[in-house]
């Protein structure tokens, strides 16, 4: 499956990202590049947050879906595409159609089978399963010993309303894994700002503070071997040096 977060693609980048380009099509096009449609040929293309696409990008997407071919930027060759399309959105698309923000013809084109997923607060039984998954995933990502979570913390997660749904849960678990020095996540590792409706990132800990602590812990764990630290963090040595200077480590 090829996955694309449509909410993060600007109108300028949409065509290159989705349809690809040929060498020399624009300043930074130093080689031919396949787009997401080509990559997903004979497979599945998942478009997340499709409701955030601009009207101009919606028109280009509709054309590709109806014609079943794409043309790379800088080329005039039609490339056939055969994909299974799955879209997701947290918007009410018929309402956005009424507001003139989403094309009605595109909605009809993509709305063959509709599955409504209830908010996380209505799927309490899913919370422990998702929590265990994210804990395992982020423990591996940040090279932390495999962590567990105690019953009290799980109850706290289950009783929270999660206005940000799974993304908010994912962010909360990631932050807890990064900041906790314990092998078991507990109540104190999860704090929610109810006044701000629990939107991720609205507590007092910034991403920069999290990154600084992660780098410091990695340096300590690997006995100041900066080559190993950079490798474990997935960054270059120069990037690591820049961050050490930035955080005065």
**For residues 200 and 181, which has the higher predicted lDDT (pLDDT)?**
181
Assess contact for 78 and 69: CB atoms under 8 A: yes
Q: How far apart are CA 77 and CA 65, in angstroms?
A: 17
- Tokens 């006995």 found at: 223
| Same domain? 26 vs 104 | yes
Q: How confident is the model at residue 141 (pLDDT cuts 50, 70, 90)?
A: very high
Closest by CA to 88, choosing from 1, 200, 6, 161, is 6
Query: Quick check: 234 pLDDT over 70?
Result: no
pLDDT tens, 198-232?
Answer: 444 444 556 677 778 888 888 887 888 888 887 77
Q: How confident is the model at residue 145 (pLDDT cuts 50, 70, 90)?
A: confident
Query: Quick check: 196 pLDDT over 80?
Result: no
Last residue of a domain, one of 110, 132, 167: 110
pTM beyond 0.75: the answer is: no
Query: Quick check: 247 pLDDT over 50?
Result: yes
pLDDT of residue 202: 44
**For residues 46 and 8, which has the higher predicted lDDT (pLDDT)?**
46
Domain containing 20 — which CATH number? 3.40.50.300
Query: Quick check: 162 pLDDT over 80?
Result: yes
pLDDT of residue 169: 95
Structurally, how many domains does the chain consist of? 3
| Same domain? 197 vs 247 | no
Closest by CA to 149, choosing from 173, 166, 122, 168, is 173
Assess contact for 238 and 246: CB atoms under 8 A: no
| Same domain? 72 vs 6 | yes
Domain containing 223 — which CATH number? 1.10.10.60
| Same domain? 180 vs 154 | yes
Q: How confident is the model at residue 71 (pLDDT cuts 50, 70, 90)?
A: very high
pLDDT tens, 85-133?
Answer: 999 998 889 999 999 999 999 999 999 999 988 889 999 999 999 999 9
Helix, strand or coil, per DSSP, at residue 93? helix
**Which range marks the domain in which residue 218 is found?**
206-249
Query: Quick check: 173 pLDDT over 90?
Result: yes
| Same domain? 160 vs 231 | no
| Same domain? 164 vs 64 | no
Q: How far apart are CA 104 and CA 100, in angstroms?
A: 9
């Amino acid at each position: 499956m090829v996955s694309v977060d449509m909410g993060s693609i600007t109108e300028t980048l949409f065509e290159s990202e989705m349809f690809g380009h040929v060498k020399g099509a624009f300043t930074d096009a130093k080689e031919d590049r396949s787009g997401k449609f080509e990559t997903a040929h004979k497979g599945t293309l998942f478009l997340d947050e499709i409701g955030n696409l601009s009207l101009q990008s919606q028109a280009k997407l509709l054309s590709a879906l109806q014609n079943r071919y794409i043309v790379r930027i800088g080329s005039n060759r039609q490339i056939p595409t055969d994909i299974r399309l799955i879209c997701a959105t947290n918007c009410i698309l018929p309402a956005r159609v009424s507001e003139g923000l989403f094309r009605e013809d595109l909605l009809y084109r993509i709305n063959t089978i509709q599955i409504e997923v209830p908010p996380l607060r209505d799927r309490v039984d899913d919370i422990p399963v998702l929590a265990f998954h994210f804990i395992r995933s982020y423990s591996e990502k940040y090279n932390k010993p495999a962590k567990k979570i105690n019953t009290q913390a799980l109850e706290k997660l289950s009783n929270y309303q999660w206005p940000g749904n799974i993304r908010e849960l994912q962010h909360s678990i990631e932050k807890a894994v990064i900041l906790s020095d314990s092998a078991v996540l507990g109540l104190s590792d999860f704090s929610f700002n109810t006044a701000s409706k629990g939107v991720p990132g609205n507590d007092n800990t910034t991403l920069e503070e999290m990154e600084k602590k992660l780098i410091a812990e990695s340096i300590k764990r690997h006995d100041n071997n900066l080559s190993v630290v950079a490798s474990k963090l997935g960054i270059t040595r120069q990037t690591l040096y820049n961050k050490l200077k930035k955080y005065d480590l």
